[in-house]
Structure 1
Amino acid sequence: MEHSSTLSAELAKALKTASGIDFSGAELRAIGGGCIHRALEVRAGGGRYFLKLNDASTLPMFEAEVDGLTALGACDAFRVPRSLAWGATEDEAFLLLEHIEMRPLADAGDGQRFAEALVELHRDSGEHFGWTRDNFIGANPQSNTQDDGWAHFFVNHRLIPQLKMARATGYAGAIGREADHLLERVPALFLDYRPRPSLLHGDLWNGNAAMDVQGRPVIFDPAVYRGDRDADLAMSELFGGFPSAFYATYRTAWPLAEGYEQRKTLYNLYHVLNHLNLFGRGYLGQAERMIRALYFELRR
């Protein structure tokens, strides 16, 4: 896809058809930070917008994102960017979002407000684990076939697909029998722990969390499904960046059950395997260590 300082006539026409906004002569500013889509701040028709672009074949990713943002926005715990238009031309898929002025979480007050919002989101629970449609975790597909059993869901729709991808890529020797034995033992982690199917962001690292200029928590770039709330908390710890007050506030409002540290490693294994499949061998050692630690812990 060509990168230019103006929108193509075809794209501007498609955006106008989808949104009713005239994008001819729009002012564009490239926004960095994403590793999947091209992102632009766009000024047009007297408004300011956030525009994501990619090849036309990626439209299902944008459709899944709209679905996830809609689900998160319906809970009203966080400020979530509104989806204004999406579609595709012959060459480009696009997603037009509300533009929100944001900043990173910076202090205890931010951490407290973000935790309070996350507790409210997680209290939105359903009847089944999974989601009404499949979506994506980064650029990889994420299966969300609904299931009544959390351990069964996590093994079959989180770990097994990632392990299959890793082995198909050439990591079969490194991620071998210990991983298979681990899958057999995962249900042992949930003999005395029955999580509810909470609404999850699904990819809650610090790059997908912020505060708006009014001090309201913001989340975006979701990989939504219903699952154990600990999975969101575990992901928030994987790469750091959340104030300590976030964890203290969350645990005070809704204490975690015993065994969280083991579950955290299991849940983050999914994301580390996904990073291995997306970005390569740099994540292999971390994945192997996590598999080995869980395997030996659960064989006791």
Structure 2
Amino acid sequence: MVLGGAVHVGFSCFSSCISSLSNGGLSRKFSSTKLHKPLAMASMSNDPIREWILSEGKATEISRISPVGGGCINLATRYDTDAGSFFVKTNRNIGPSMFDGEALGLNAMYETRTIRVPKPFKVGSLPTGGSYIIMEFIEFGASRSNQSELGRKLAEMHKAGKSNKGFGFDVDNTIGSTPQINTWTSDWVEFYAEHRLGYQLKLARQQYGDSTIYERGQRLAKNIGSLFEGVVIEPCLLHGDLWSGNITSDRNGEPVILDPACYYGHNEAEFGMSWCAGFGGSFYIAYFEVMPKQPGFEKRRDLYLLYHYLNHYNLFGSSYRSSAMSIIDDCLLMLKA
């Protein structure tokens, strides 16, 4: 989003690839206790955002407050100060839990010291209801990103960000405005079948009464194990919602990713939004030089697309149903299930 010759990261707008789709997911360092401990004092203020910037943010003056367009879930604002610029998202209807999840994801990615993400600073409640998140403001460069560098940096993040708890995340978060369940699970196939495909299939049945896609999808979910035979699966830190609207570059041309829906999962699941991410050949070549391709990758690719097609179906309606159903039927045929 252009703003005075510059652009910034972090505004939320979940839609189709033609519109804007995003949202996101924080690290241990930003536990709920630490995030909300300063809130007792801040909540006494009519403007906890300004109070934080002028205290813990180390600013003595706010020179300009300007809206950043492009959001359809949250209101985005830029605060220019003598200590630098801050990016703030607010939501008048939702409590801090959504932004807690986003901050945890951003911080987890930030701590890998691999690919650039906006550093989160503070999450809190608004006195009039709702919540906010304050984070680093990043000036965008002219180009979207270097594909080779993006592939290499993303692979480095996957390689560096590991979990000893299994697959999942410390908190549930959102994929767009859909809840994303991140209950820790030791087995990846079980996690993906239940908390990714299974959850979306249940939503489709609840929202649309779609018993056909539910029953066929559940049959697929119960039979995906053979697609992972001989595959080494480690819990890698995933951005979780990597499409073109969440990928850009800074003024030095370094890739930047934003608005995550983080969790620890199979690294190949990161490509589930590739149908509107614009990954080219140079991206995959660079990525697989760091994280080597495993046997059966091409057969699993559609399985990872399916989660996001189902989510689009649940969020935006029937125009995405045929794509989801086609993947389910093709996978069932391939697996002879």
TM-score range, shorter-chain basis? Answer: 0.7 to 0.9
Q: Deviations over 1:60-99 (max 9, x none)?
A: 1111101001100000001111112221212332112211
Partner residue, 1:279: 316
Partner residue, 1:5: none
How far apart, in 2, do the equivalents of 1:105 and 1:238 lie?
20
Quick check: 1:16 aligned with 2:54? no
Quick check: 1:139 aligned with 2:139? no
Partner residue, 2:18: none
Shift of 1:154: 0.5
The 5 A counterparts of 1:69-88 are: 69-88=106-125
Give the secondary structure class of the aligned counterpart of 1:75. Answer: coil
The TM-score, its normalising length taken from structure 1, stands at: 0.87
Q: Deviations over 1:34-82 (max 9, x none)?
A: 3322222333456322221212424211111010011000000011111
RCO comparison, higher one (Cα < 8 Å, 6+)? 2
Within the candidate set 265, 284, 290, 2:327 is matched to 290
8 A contact 1:77–1:117 mirrored in 2:
yes
Shift of 1:192: 2.1
Task: Letter of the 1:272 partner, please give it.
Answer: Y
Q: Deviations over 1:236-289 (max 9, x none)?
A: x22132343111211233321121122111111111111111222221111111
Alignment coverage as a number of residue pairs? 287
8 A contact 2:123–2:134 mirrored in 1:
yes
Partner residue, 1:98: 136
The 5 A counterparts of 1:218-257 are: 218-235=256-273, 237-257=274-294
Partner residue, 2:73: 36
8 A contact 1:31–1:41 mirrored in 2:
no
Choose between structure 1 and 2: higher helix proportion: 1
How far apart, in 2, do the equivalents of 1:61 and 1:96 lie?
13
8 A contact 2:272–2:307 mirrored in 1:
no
Task: Letter of the 2:75 partner, please give it.
Answer: R
Partner residue, 2:40: none
The 5 A counterparts of 1:34-73 are: 34-45=71-82, 47-73=84-110
How far apart, in 1, do the equivalents of 2:107 and 2:270 lie?
18
Partner residue, 2:20: none
How far apart, in 2, do the equivalents of 1:249 and 1:25 lie?
42
How far apart, in 1, do the equivalents of 2:279 and 2:46 lie?
38
Q: Cα–Cα, structure 1 residues 44 and 255, in superposed 2: closer, same or farther, change >3 Å? A: same
Structure 1 residue runs without a partner (length 5+): 1-9
The TM-score, its normalising length taken from structure 2, stands at: 0.78
Within the candidate set 192, 196, 202, 1:154 is matched to 192
Comparing 252-261 with 277-286, which one deviates more in the overlay? 252-261
Comparing 155-164 with 122-131, which one deviates more in the overlay? 122-131
Task: Letter of the 1:169 partner, please give it.
Answer: Q
Give the secondary structure class of the aligned counterpart of 1:29. Answer: strand
8 A contact 1:12–1:22 mirrored in 2:
no
8 A contact 1:39–1:52 mirrored in 2:
yes
8 A contact 1:104–1:210 mirrored in 2:
no
Partner residue, 1:120: 156
Shift of 1:30: 2.8
How far apart, in 2, do the equivalents of 1:200 and 1:187 lie?
21
Task: Letter of the 1:204 partner, please give it.
Answer: L
Q: Cα–Cα, structure 1 residues 12 and 27, in superposed 2: closer, same or farther, change >3 Å? A: farther
Give the secondary structure class of the aligned counterpart of 1:123. Answer: helix
Q: Cα–Cα, structure 1 residues 242 and 35, in superposed 2: closer, same or farther, change >3 Å? A: farther
Q: Deviations over 1:121-160 (max 9, x none)?
A: 1112223111122111111111111111110010111111
Please give the root-mean-square deviation of Cα atoms over the aligned residues, in Å: 2.3
Q: Deviations over 1:207-250 (max 9, x none)?
A: 11111111222111111111111011343x22132343111211
Structure 2 residue runs without a partner (length 5+): 1-43
8 A contact 1:130–1:146 mirrored in 2:
yes
How far apart, in 1, do the equivalents of 2:183 and 2:235 lie?
13
Give the secondary structure class of the aligned counterpart of 2:264. Answer: strand
Task: Letter of the 1:41 partner, please give it.
Answer: R
Quick check: 1:191 aligned with 2:191? no
8 A contact 1:15–1:23 mirrored in 2:
no
8 A contact 2:141–2:252 mirrored in 1:
no
How far apart, in 1, do the equivalents of 2:142 and 2:186 lie?
36
How far apart, in 2, do the equivalents of 1:116 and 1:176 lie?
37
Task: Letter of the 2:317 partner, please give it.
Answer: G
